[in-house]
Amino acid sequence: MASIRFDSSKHYATSSLVIGYALCSSLLAVINKFAITKFNYPGLLTALQYLTSALGVWVLGKLGFLHHDPFVYDTAKKFMPAAVVKQPCPSKLTFLSLLIILGGSVGYVATDSGFTLTAYSWAFAYLITITTEMVYIKHMVMNLGLNTWGFVFYNNLLSLMMAPVFWIITGEYADVFAAVGASSGNLFELTAFVAVSLSCVFGLLISFFGFAARKAISATAFTVTGVVNKFLTVLINVLIWDKHAGPFGLVCLLLTLAGGVLYQQSVTGATSAPLQRDSAESKMMITEPDGNDHGDEDEEKGISDKISGV
């Protein structure tokens, strides 16, 4: 008899990846904030994160602790061009949940006590970049055929290659050379070293969990996870720093959480309905009097293919 079996191991594996990504993302935001206050060179900090991740994967691969795809120029070229990902339009409930998240985010930003035009100009640039990145990276992880550690290696190595360009554009290289020349010691004090090291370690962790979660869930679900997990970030921010939103801003943050829960419910309901229809069709085929078993086999294969594609 054809039936749809719930793969609990796959479900828990996906949940673990999403939880791991959420924790790393929320904690890394706080760690990076602390690291920047002690090591005021964001471009260099980012490059050190790329270096730690790429070198860490390569070394662990050489030691036999993990396997990653080797660096191949033809594969690296596929990271460069833009991609168009054809996906159906979201349902009304899904669209509503995304609007709720947007409204909560706008409300939180409007009440941020540390609001400055410069800071949120960077935030807007990040918004445009991350919107493209979420969809494009999802396209790549589904089509390039690399394993998770392979994506971590490629992504960080290619990013490290491009980092000097941004040092030159922002002029940060001059500040670093001036600090080293002045022997001020700010680059190498113990607190800064610990903060940067912790940031680099979590950078490697979020690279792994990020790519693994991208393979397991949709680009939109991944983005919503990134929004919702910031509740922990804001909670820590409220406890240890004085620059944060007021009560209304925190209510807006809770609104984004509600939107995230609503989004999850909307996409779960949308994917379960086709599976129920497939189950009903398979039962009808079983009751046919011709005794042909091939129909059952084909139907079961079709159902399993659809489940794997969700």
Domain residue limits, the chain: 8-40+79-143+186-309
What was the pLDDT predicted at 100? 80
| Rounded distance between C-alpha atoms, residue 97 and residue 118, angstroms | 29
Residue 84 has pLDDT above 50, yes or no: no
| Rounded distance between C-alpha atoms, residue 102 and residue 300, angstroms | 40
Give the mean pLDDT of 232-236: 75
| Rounded distance between C-alpha atoms, residue 306 and residue 276, angstroms | 12
Give the mean pLDDT of 22-40: 86
Nearest Cα neighbor of 307 from 2, 90, 5 is 5
- The answer to whether 44 and 167 are in contact (CB under 8 A) is yes
| Helices within the chain (DSSP H only) | 8-38, 42-62, 73-77, 92-110, 117-143, 148-170, 172-182, 190-216, 219-228, 230-240, 247-286, 294-309
Residue 245, helix vs strand vs coil: strand
What was the pLDDT predicted at 104? 79
Residue 226 has pLDDT above 50, yes or no: yes
Nearest Cα neighbor of 42 from 205, 167, 181, 206 is 167
| Rounded distance between C-alpha atoms, residue 80 and residue 234, angstroms | 34
For 235-291, the pLDDT digits (tens) are: 777 777 665 567 777 787 778 777 776 766 665 555 444 444 444 444 444 444 444
| Rounded distance between C-alpha atoms, residue 155 and residue 100, angstroms | 32
Q: Give the up-direction half-sphere exposure of residue 264: CA atoms within 13 A in the CB hemisphere.
A: 14
Residue 169 has pLDDT above 90, yes or no: no
Give the mean pLDDT of 217-244: 71
| Rounded distance between C-alpha atoms, residue 215 and residue 281, angstroms | 29
- The answer to whether 255 and 100 are in contact (CB under 8 A) is yes
Nearest Cα neighbor of 309 from 266, 275, 260, 269 is 275
CA distances from 56 to 110, 192, 204, 266 (A): 40, 21, 8, 39
Residue 154 has pLDDT above 90, yes or no: no
Nearest Cα neighbor of 258 from 101, 105, 109, 110 is 101
| Rounded distance between C-alpha atoms, residue 183 and residue 186, angstroms | 8
Sign of CA dihedral 165, 168, 171, 176: positive
What was the pLDDT predicted at 197? 93
